[in-house]
Every structure is written in structure tokens, then in C-alpha cells.
């Protein structure tokens, strides 16, 4: 009687070893599902990079409009405090994010078409940021740090995923645009007088003011 009562209370125990194959089958399916997810390619964060590029353009070009009632105060904030408070953490966060964009699977180291299309406006924005913000030293230091990290991780058989490739190629495109910009204006006597330092990276706004808007 007691044995029958225990069987009624615990019906799963009656199967004994017969219940184990079903559990093993479910566990095997669960494990294989995890393996399939691990093998799949790392997704490109299109929404993240699209909105990030969009807000960069909107906020940076919308700022001069907001500077029309309080110009002097905002000019001081933008040229001095703003550079330290914004650009240093900005590039630091990008580098920290970049350091996590590595994968052990070389097949995942590719860029989708959406990333290739977005790389041009992203690199163009960074070009504007570097030239107009006069932060070439900070930019080139960040780019070389990224390059050194890529070479270091390559020794460990780790490769950039689609997000890391997007960021790296955006910075490489920025460096190319800055080099072309400087080469184009290298012999400009007016800008040379305005930027007499060792690092000659003219601002686009200065070029527009001196050579475009001043024309009759």
C-alpha cells in the first residue's frame, strides 16, 4: 500500500531509467541550439550606427543655430571647455567599444552592404570633427591605438567583427580625407598664416570664410 501511494505521488519515478532518454534528447537539442547560435555570424548593429551617425550630424550642425542669443559664452565653452569635456570621453568610449569587437571566427570578419554604405557618411563626419574641432592629435592617437590593438589581437587569432571593421574603416577613411584636405591646401598663403603651427590642419569654416564667403 505504501509503495503504491509513493508511486501515485511521484509518477515520474515509475519510469525509472526509461524517463532519462527523453531528458537526454531535450538536453541535446538545447545544446545543439546553443552551438548553432555560436557558429552564426555576429550581427551588424545597423540601428546603433545609423542613429549614432545621424545624431552626430544633427547635434554638431544644429549647435551654431543655438549659439545666436549667447555667442561669447558658448564660444568659450565650445573652443576650450567643450573640447576637453566632449572629445576626450567621446574617443575613449569609441575605443572601449572597439576593444570588444573581436571574434575567434574569421568567417565573421566581414562587413554587410549596409555597413559599407554607412561608412562614407560616418568617415566624412569624423573628418569634419577632426578638422573643425582641431583634434588631429587626439584622433591619430586613437587610430594608432586601434591599429595596435588589432595587431595584438591577431596574434591571439582574434579578428574584427562587422562592427569593429565598420569603426576601423571609418577612421581609416577619415585619415585619408584629412590627408587629402591638407595636401589640397598645403600651399595656401592665407591659411598658412592663420595656422602657423607644426600640425597644419585648416578648419573648413575658416576656408569657407576666407575663400568662399568673401568673394563678391
- Cβ atoms < 10 Å from Cβ of 109: 17
Alpha helices in 135-216 (DSSP H): 136-155, 162-184, 189-194, 204-207
pLDDT confidence bin for 117, thresholds 50/70/90: very high
pLDDT confidence bin for 116, thresholds 50/70/90: very high
Of 141, 149, 148, 132, the C-alpha closest to 201 is 132
What average pLDDT does range 93-120 have in this prediction?
Answer: 92
Classify 103 as helix, strand or coil.
strand
3-40 confidence digits (pLDDT tens): 444 445 544 444 444 444 444 544 544 454 444 444 56
Classify 102 as helix, strand or coil.
strand
Classify 48 as helix, strand or coil.
helix
pLDDT confidence bin for 151, thresholds 50/70/90: very high
How far apart CA 168 and CA 106 sit, in angstroms, is 16
168-199 confidence digits (pLDDT tens): 999 999 999 999 999 999 999 989 888 888 88
What's residue 14's pLDDT?
45
- Please, what sign has the CA dihedral across residues 115, 118, 124, 125? negative
What's residue 29's pLDDT?
46
What average pLDDT does range 133-154 have in this prediction?
Answer: 95
Residues facing 103 on adjacent strands? 159
Model confidence pTM above 0.75: no
44-83 confidence digits (pLDDT tens): 888 888 888 887 877 776 666 655 565 556 666 666 667 7
Classify 150 as helix, strand or coil.
helix
Amino acid at each position: 500500500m505504501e509503495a503504491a501511494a509513493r508511486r501515485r505521488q511521484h509518477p515520474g519515478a515509475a519510469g525509472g531509467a526509461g524517463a532519462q532518454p527523453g531528458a537526454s534528447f531535450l538536453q541535446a537539442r538545447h545544446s545543439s541550439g546553443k552551438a548553432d547560435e555560436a557558429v552564426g555570424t555576429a550581427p551588424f548593429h545597423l540601428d546603433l550606427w545609423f542613429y549614432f551617425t545621424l545624431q552626430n550630424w544633427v547635434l554638431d550642425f544644429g549647435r551654431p543655430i543655438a549659439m545666436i542669443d549667447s555667442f561669447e559664452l558658448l564660444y568659450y565653452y565650445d573652443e576650450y571647455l567643450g573640447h576637453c569635456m566632449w572629445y576626450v570621453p567621446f574617443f575613449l568610449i569609441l575605443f572601449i567599444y572597439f576593444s570588444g569587437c573581436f571574434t575567434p571566427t574569421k568567417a565573421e570578419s566581414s562587413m554587410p552592404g549596409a555597413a559599407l554604405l554607412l561608412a562614407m557618411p560616418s568617415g566624412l563626419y569624423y573628418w569634419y570633427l577632426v578638422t573643425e574641432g582641431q583634434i588631429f592629435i587626439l584622433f591619430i592617437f586613437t587610430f594608432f591605438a586601434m591599429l595596435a590593438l588589432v595587431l595584438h589581437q591577431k596574434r591571439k587569432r582574434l579578428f574584427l567583427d562587422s562592427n569593429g571593421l565598420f569603426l576601423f574603416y571609418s577612421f581609416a577613411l577619415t585619415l585619408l580625407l584629412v590627408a587629402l584636405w591638407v595636401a589640397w591646401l598645403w600651399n595656401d598663403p592665407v591659411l598658412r598664416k592663420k595656422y602657423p603651427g607644426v600640425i597644419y590642419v585648416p578648419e573648413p569654416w575658416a576656408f569657407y570664410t576666407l575663400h568662399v564667403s568673401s568673394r563678391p
